[in-house]
Amino acid sequence: MSRPPETSILFVCLGNICRSPMAAGILRSLAATSVRPIRIESAGVGPWHVGKPPDGRAIAAAQRHGIDLTGERAQMIAEVDYRSYDMILAMDRSVLANVLQRAPADATARIGLFRQVAEDVDADVDDPYTGPEDDFETCFVEIEAAAKTLYARLLEPTPEGSDG
Ligand code: 4NP
Mean pLDDT in the chain? 94
Beta-sheet strand order (sheet of 110-113): 38-44, 7-13, 87-90, 110-113
125 half-sphere exposure, CB direction, 13 A CA radius:
36
Instruction: Supply φ then ψ for residue 109, to 5 degrees.
Output: -65, 145
Residues 102-137: pLDDT tens digits? 999 999 999 999 999 999 999 999 999 999 999 999
19 annotated active-site: yes
What is the pLDDT at residue 79?
98
Confidence label for 157 from pLDDT (cuts 50, 70 and 90): confident
Which numbered atom of ligand 1 lies nearest the CA of 20?
4
CA of 13 to the centre of ligand 1 (A): 7
* CB-based contact 115:44 (threshold 8 Å): no
Q: Does residue 4 surpass a pLDDT of 70?
A: no
Instruction: Supply φ then ψ for residue 136, to 5 degrees.
Output: -70, -35
Nearest CA to ligand 1 atom 7: 15
Instruction: Please tell me the distance from the alpha carbon of residue 53 to that of residue 143, in angstroms, as a whole number.
Output: 19
Residues 6+ apart with CB under 8 A from 121: 115, 146
139 annotated active-site: no
* Average pLDDT, integer, range 35-53: 96
Domains of the chain, start order: 7-154 (3.40.50.2300)
Percent of the chain residues topping a pLDDT of 70? 94
Number of CB atoms found within 10 A of residue 109's CB: 19
Q: Does residue 35 surpass a pLDDT of 90?
A: no
- The pTM assigned to this predicted structure is 0.95
What is the pLDDT at residue 111?
98
Confidence label for 161 from pLDDT (cuts 50, 70 and 90): very low
Size (the chain), residues: 164
What is the pLDDT at residue 3?
63
